[in-house]
Structure 1
Amino acid sequence: MMFARLPRPPRALLRGAVYAGALAAAVALAACASPPSRFYTLGADTAGSAAPVSASTAAPAWLIEVAPIDVPPQVAKNQLVVQTGPTQVKVLEEERWASLPGDEIRRALSTTLTQQLRTIDVYGTAHSDATPVYRVSMNVQRFESWPGSHALMDAVWSVRAVRSNAVMTCRSVVSEPVGGGYDVLVEGHRQALAQISAQIASAVQAMAAANPARAASGASGKGTSVVVPACPSAAATKAAAGG
């Protein structure tokens, strides 16, 4: 039995077929690729705030320590989590925080407080015992994002005078109306955090003013009574935050 030898296709034709196949595969992959992610931050807008401490040679009257901040587990992720109903949420893969929400809140809070109080955040940094230190702690119990409706922050926070037993514990619930779009939703959270930051700044100032001798000396004050002011009024601090 004899077999006829089929003619071999030209090499140029083979290369063209391989190139066409590779191009088709690349187009298919591009069509299936995810759209680019957008990143958001709660970084404080300090344009209208007090001048930074570095602009002055005077030592701050007190220091602050802004501790790491806890947020609800369901929103403790890089993706934005939005409410679609009272018991339903949606995780947005393309809309993301620049860092985890707890870190975003802490960084923005620290920046705002250091600007408003003309001081330094010394958390995790060695510092002199001669200067009074106020530790700020926050537990965000609700961090809700309702597109086209409102952004809500419900936080329990405290200001404690380090080296004494003076501590003020308060709660702030702020709801900011927002329009459509994720940019304005994030801006709503920024405005809500600005109001809470103003309340905390007022609390630190009230704590220092209620115990002037202790604040001036930085003494521990063990065995002596301390004055703990009442929590600042939300209405009194909203105007200071620009609300």
Structure 2
Amino acid sequence: MSRYSRRPLAGFAALAPCAALIASVASVALVALGALSACSSPPSRFYTLAGGLASSEVRSAAPPLLMIDVAAVDVPAQVARSALVVQTSATRVDVLEQARWASLPADEIRLALSQQLAQQLDAIDVSRSPRPAGVSVYRVKLSVQRFESWPGSHALIDAVWSVRALSEEAVLTCRSVVSEPVGAGNDALVAGHRQALQQIAANVADGIRALDAAARAHRLVRGQTAPPCPAQ
């Protein structure tokens, strides 16, 4: 019995190098597959609508004549995501998972609008700060009805906005529809949306100026009507 019991052990010993070789080959294959997977996944790119204002403009140290309070922005549900959503036809959109906003579109739009208004009006946004006495504060509300990205064609923003002095009763409610032609690529789309937001901010700034002028001229008169919407 003893002479036969050693044969299986000898067989297993002979197979041991083969098992080690198979394990080594499998390990190399897994590493290679991991490397191929890493190479095949393109890195995500992040875009923002805020920032990029002229750095050469220096704000005055004097207190501003008015302040703004930019509220949270409403956007359509289909674009309320971090990935870019592009329009490919009247009935189809593509979600670009590798092209993403730096923050949610509603936050990007609110921040960009706040920055543009602060620059154009030489004002400051006090939405998260105490409001000082003796300075007019204007509440700005923006509701985006359409936020469309057509690659190689145009970027469109359709928004309803309102301005109201916190110390007055008059409210100015208007609509801005801006379409900017764009070239190919996501960079061009984002640049088009930035330009559209700049135009909308200019409309809102004109509305604030008109409302502020009316409020100063009739500060003691209650129930005054708001001025007409500014021309686009």
TM-score scaled to structure 1, two decimals?
Answer: 0.84
C-alpha separation in 1, matches of 2:77 and 2:175: 20
- Report if aligned partners of 1:153, 1:174 keep a CA contact under 8 Å in 2: yes
Q: Give the C-alpha shift of residue 229 in structure 1.
A: 1.3
- Give 1:23 deviation, angstroms: 2.9
Among 96, 100, 112, which residue is 1:96 paired with?
100
What code does the residue aligned with 2:119 have?
Answer: Q
Among 28, 35, 38, the residue aligned to 2:33: 28
Task: Summarize the alignment of residues 1-243 of structure 1 with structure 2, pairs less than 5 Å apart.
Answer: 2=4, 4=7, 5-6=10-11, 8=13, 17-33=22-38, 34-47=41-54, 51-53=57-59, 56-212=60-216, 224-234=222-232
Rounded to whole Å, the distance in 2 between the matches of 1:162 and 1:11 is: 83
Which has more helix, going by share of residues?
2
Shift of 1:63: 0.6
Asked if 1 retains the 8 angstrom alpha-carbon contact of 2:86 and 2:149, the reply is yes
Q: How far has the Cα of 1:29 moved from its partner?
A: 2.8
Q: Distance in 2 between the 1:19 and 1:125 partners?
A: 63
Partner Cα distance (2:22, 2:117) in 1: 65
Q: 1:32 is matched by which residue type in structure 2? A: S
Shift of 1:163: 2.1
Q: Which consecutive aligned stretches of 4+ in structure 1 deviate over 3 angstroms post-superposition?
A: 9-20
CA distance in 1, matches of 2:149, 2:86: 5
Structure 1 residue 118 displacement after superposition: 0.8
Code of the residue aligned with 1:6 in structure 2: it is G
Structure index of larger Rg:
2
CA RMSD for the aligned pairs?
Answer: 2.3
Give structure 2 stretches of 5+ with no counterpart: none
> Is 1:81–1:92's contact at 8 Å kept on the other side of the alignment?
yes
Aligned length: 225
The one-letter amino acid of 2:52's match is D
- Contact 2:168 2:215 (C-alpha < 8 Å) held by counterparts: no
